[in-house]
Structure 1
Amino acid sequence: MKVGMVAHHYPHAAHREEFVARVHRVAEEFRRSPGCLSADCWLAPDGDAVVSVVQWESEDAQAASLAAVQAAGLDTGYDEREARPREVVRLVAP
Structure 2
Amino acid sequence: MKFAFLIMGDFQPKDRAAIHNGAAQIIGVTNLTEACEVAKQLYENGVACIELCGAFGESGAKEIIHATKNKIPIGYITHLPEQDTIYQSAFSK
Which TM class, normalised by the smaller chain length?
0.3 to 0.5
Kindly indicate whether structure 1 or structure 2 has the higher relative contact order, using CA contacts under 8 Å at least 6 residues apart.
1
User: TM-score, structure 2 length as denominator?
Assistant: 0.33
Q: Larger % of strand: which? A: 1
User: TM-score, structure 1 length as denominator?
Assistant: 0.33
